[in-house]
Amino acid sequence: MSLGASKAVVQVLCRPVTQTGYSEHLVNSSDLTLHSTFQVKCVKKRPPRHRHSIRCSSMHLSQLRRTHQLRPMGVSLVNYMNYSGSWFQTCKCQQSESASGITAGDGNGAWSVNNIETSNSVNNLANAKSILEFQDVQQLKQEKALTSKIANGTIPDSFSIEEEAWDLLRESIVHYCGSPIGTIAAKDPTSSNVLNYDQVFIRDFIPSGIAFLLKGEHDIVRNFILYTLQLQSWEKTMDCHSPGQGLMPASFKVRTVPLDGDDSATEEVLDPDFGEAAIGRVAPVDSGLWWIILLRAYGKCSGDLSVQERIDVQTGIKMILRLCLADGFDMFPTLLVTDGSCMIDRRMGIHGHPLEIQALFYSALLCAREMLTPEDGSADLIRALNNRLVALSFHIREYYWIDMKKLNEIYRYKTEEYSYDAVNKFNIYPDQISPWLVEWMPNKGGYLIGNLQPAHMDFRFFSLGNLWSVVNSLATMEQSHAILDLIEAKWSDLVAEMPFKICYPALEGQEWQIITGSDPKNTPWSYHNAGSWPTLLWQLTVACIKMNRPHIAAKAVEIAERRISRDKWPEYYDTKRSRFIGKQSRLFQTWSIAGYLVAKLLLTDPSKANILITEEDSELVNALITANPRGKRGRKNLKQTYIV
Ligand code: GLC
C-alpha cells in the first residue's frame, strides 16, 4: 500500500465523533491490515447537504465477484429425523467453563451449548432413551414416506435446495471497493419496482452474516461491521431535525458515481438511509441492536476479538447504548419507540413498547456488557446498563407474560386502583380480553404479549419477540418452554403450510382500517398483518436448540422445503394457512434464503447456536431476588437500587 493510500485509509477510519463528547479516534495496525487488501484509494468526502455517504474511488474497480466454488455441507432431508437423537449426545459431552452458565470457546471457533437447566439435566437424559425409542419408530415411518416423495419428485431433496440457496446467497453479495460488505435485500428478476430492495438492510443481513460465519467465511461480516460503523457516525437530518447520535441506518446502498474532475474514473459511495428516505420515514431502532448482536457472534465464531476491542468499535457500542439508555419521560424500563421501528416497518399499531424491540434491546445490553472493555470513563454506563437489565427482565417476565392462569387473573382484575401496591398496575380493563384469545390460549403454554401501555395490553402473539426472548433468556426457563409448547399447540395457526407467522391473529375490519390506516399491503393475513415469513426459521431454530427441542425446528424446516425453492424463495406468504405467495412478495428474498441456510447449518451442528444464545445470568437473578420488586413496598421501604 502506498503512503498516499494508507493516509487515505486512516482518513476513512477516523471517526468524527466529537459531537458526542467522545474523543476516541482509532488508528491501529489492524485497521491498516484490513484495508491493505484494497487495491483502491479510499477517500472520505463531506457529502452534500442532507446527503451523507462514504466514498471509495478507484481507477480500476474490479468486477463484482461471483463465486460458486463451495458446495453446501448440509444433511439430507431424511437426516433431519435424526436431529433429536444426536442432540442429546451433543449435550452429554458439553463442557461448561463459566459459573454464570455462559460457555467459553476453545479458541478455534468451536463452542459448546450449555443449555440444559442443571436441575433438569438428569431427567432429560433419563427420558431421552424412551423418547428416542419412540422417535425412532416415528422417524422410520416418516423417512420412508419422505424418501418415496423425493424419489417421485414431489419434494426436491434437501441437498439440492441447500446448494441452490448457497448459490443465490452468494449472488446477493454486494461489494465495496472490491470487498464483500453485505447482501442485497432481494434479487427478484420478475419485479419491475425495485424500491429499496436493492439495498443492504442491516436487519436483513443478520441471517446472511450468520450463515457466512457458520461456513467459516468471516471477512464479509467483519467488513459489514466496520463499514456500517462508519455510517453510524454521520449526522442525520430530516426536515432540519437530527435524531440522536448512535443511530445505525436501516439500509445502505453502494453507488458508483463519476469521480469529481476526472471523467475516466469512478468512485463508489456508501449511501445510508436512516429512515429519511424510507417509506413512512421510520427510524430503525433495531439496526444498532442487531449490529451489537452480530458483533458478538462474529467474535465468538471467528475467535477474532480484535474487532470488538478496537477503539472505534467500542465507541460505536457505547453510542448505541447511550442512545438507548438516555433518560426520557418514561416510567417503564422498556424502550419507547414509534410504530414501524423494527422488522415490522410499517404502521401496525406496535408503537409504544413492542416486544421485538425489548427483546433485541435486552440482547444488545447483554452482548455489550460482555464486550465492553472496562475503562475509567465507562463506569456510569456499565452501572446504567446493569440496572436496566434487571429492571427490563423483571418488567417483561412479570407484566408481558400471559397463560391461562394469568388470563384468568386479568379477567377478574379490579380497576381504578390508586396505590403503590395495586395489583392491576396498568389499569387494564378486563373487557380487553378478546374472544379470539379466550379460544386460542392453550391449556399448556403461554407467551409474551406484543405491547404494554397504560390501560392497554396488545394480546397479539409476535413471533420474533417471543423467539428472541427464548434465545436471550429474557423469558425464564419455564416461560421459554411454555412458548415452545404454545408453538406446538398452535402449529396449524403459526406454521400451517409455511413457517412462520410474523404475528397472530390478523387485524381485520374496522380494526385494520383504524390501526393500519387501511394499508393495502397489510390486509388481513398478508405481509406484516399475520403473513408468514420464512426468514423467521432461523430464530425459531436457535430458540428450539437452546431449549433442547430442535425437532420442532426440524419439522418447520421440512415444511418449508416442500415449497420454498419451488416458489422461488418468497419474502412472505399470505392467507390464514399461508397457502399463497404474498400479494406483493419479492421473490429471491435474501433473508428467506439465508434464514433457511442458518436453520439447516444449526440443526446439523446445534452447538454452533451458542454464538447467538445468551444464558440466564446468575448475577442478574440474584439482583432480582435482592431487589425483590414484587414485595410490598410503601414509599419508605423503597431502598433498593433497582427501580422496577
Ligand atoms: C420490508 C420488511 C423489513 C425488511 C425490508 C427489506 O420492509 O418489513 O423488515 O427489512 O423489507 O427486506
Look up the CATH number of the domain holding residue 603. 1.50.10.10
Atom from ligand 1 closest to the CA of residue 204: 10
Closest atom of ligand 1 relative to the 589 alpha carbon: 12
Ligand 1 mutation target, pool 194, 198, 204, most atoms within 8 A of CB: 204
Nearest ligand 1 atom to the CA of 203 is 10
Cell numbers of 229, please? 460503523
- CB atoms under 10 Å from CB of 143, counted, come to 16
Ligand 1: centre distance to CA 201 (Å): 8
Provide the pLDDT for residue 491. Answer: 98
Instruction: Go through the chain and tell me how many residues it has.
Output: 644
Q: Is residue 6 part of a domain?
A: no
Judged by DSSP in three states, 8 sits in helix
Decide if 379 is inside a domain.
Answer: yes
The residue among 477, 488, 594 whose CA lies nearest residue 538 is: 594
pLDDT at 280: 65
Residue nearest to atom 2 of ligand 1 (CA): 343
Nearest to 7 by CA among 34, 27, 30, 37: 27
Angle between helices 83-92 and 550-561 (to 10 degrees): 150
Which residues of the chain have a pLDDT value below 50? 1-51, 58-135, 632-644
The three cell numbers of residue 156 are 426436491
pLDDT of amino acid 619: 78
pLDDT of res. 142: 55
- State the pLDDT at residue 297: 98
In a domain, residue 34? The reply is: no
Distance between CA 111 and CA 231 in Å, rounded?
Answer: 32
What is the distance between the alpha carbons of residues 288 and 311, in angstroms, rounded to a whole number?
17
- 181 C-alpha to ligand 1 centroid (Å): 19
Q: What span, in angstroms and rounded, lies between the C-alpha atoms of 88 and 548?
A: 8
Asked if residue 93 belongs to a domain, the reply is no
Determine the distance separating the centroid of ligand 1 and the alpha carbon of 303, expressed in angstroms.
31
Ligand 1 mutation pick, 191, 196, 201, 346, max ligand atoms within 8 A of CB: 201
Q: Residues 6 or more apart from 153 whose CB is under 8 A from it?
A: none
CA distance linking residue 398 with residue 32, whole number of Å: 49
Burial of 302 (0-12, 13-18, 19+ CB in 10 A): buried
Identity of the amino acid at 49? R
* 195 part of a folded domain: yes
Output the residue whose Cα is nearest ligand 1's atom 6.
185
For ligand 1, atom 1, name the residue with the nearest CA: 345
Distance (Å, rounded) from C-alpha 239 to C-alpha 233?
19
Around ligand 1, the residues with Cβ closer than 6 Å are 185, 201, 203-204, 343, 345
63 in a structural domain: no
Give the pLDDT confidence score for residue 146 in this predicted structure. 53
Residue 95 forms part of a structural domain: no
Q: Which three cell numbers stand for residue 52?
A: 451523507
Point out which residues pair with 253 in neighbouring strands: 271
Going from the Cα of 533 to the center of ligand 1, the distance in angstroms, rounded, reads 11
Query: Side chain identity at 252, as an amino acid letter?
Result: F
Between the CA of 15 and the centroid of ligand 1 the distance, in Å, is 29
Q: What angle do CA 57, 58, 62 make, to 5 degrees?
A: 130
pLDDT of residue 143: 52
Distance from the CA of 197 to the center of ligand 1, in angstroms? 8
- How many distinct structural domains can be found in the chain? 1
Pairing state between β 573-574 and 580-581:
antiparallel
Atom number, ligand 1, closest to the C-alpha of residue 199 = 6
CA–CA dist 311, 26 (Å, integer): 6
**Mutation pick for ligand 1 pocket among 345, 536, 587 (CB with most ligand atoms within 8 Å):** 345
Residue 332, amino acid = F
Asked whether the CA dihedral 78, 79, 83, 84 is positive or negative, the reply is positive
Residue 36, CA distances (Å) to 226, 228, 270, 303, 410 in order: 14, 19, 19, 21, 62
Residue nearest atom 9 of ligand 1, based on CA coordinates: 343
**Range of the structural domain that residue 462 is part of:** 162-628
44 strand-pairing partners: none
By CB atoms closer than 10 A (0-12, 13-18, 19+), residue 372 is middle
Minimum-distance ligand 1 atom for the alpha carbon of 342:
9
Q: Which is the closest atom of ligand 1 to the Cα of 345? A: 8
- How many angstroms separate the alpha carbon of residue 576 from the centre of ligand 1? 21
pLDDT at 597: 98
Note whether 219 and 176 are within 8 A (CB).
Answer: no
Q: What is the 8-class DSSP label of residue 397? A: I
Taking the centre of ligand 1 as the mean of its atom positions, its distance from the CA of residue 116, in whole angstroms, is 34
**Is position 56 within any domain?**
no
Q: Whose CA is nearest to atom 4 of ligand 1?
A: 343
- Which ligand 1 atom sits closest to the C-alpha of 528? 8
**Substitution candidate for ligand 1 out of 343, 350, 526 with most atoms within 8 A of CB:** 343
- Report pLDDT digits (tens) over 312-342: 999 999 999 999 999 888 889 999 999 999 9
SS3 category, 363: helix
Largest Cα–Cα separation, the chain: 75
Instruction: Quote the pLDDT of residue 614.
Output: 96
Distance 528 CA to ligand 1 centre (A): 10
DSSP reduced 3-state for 492: helix
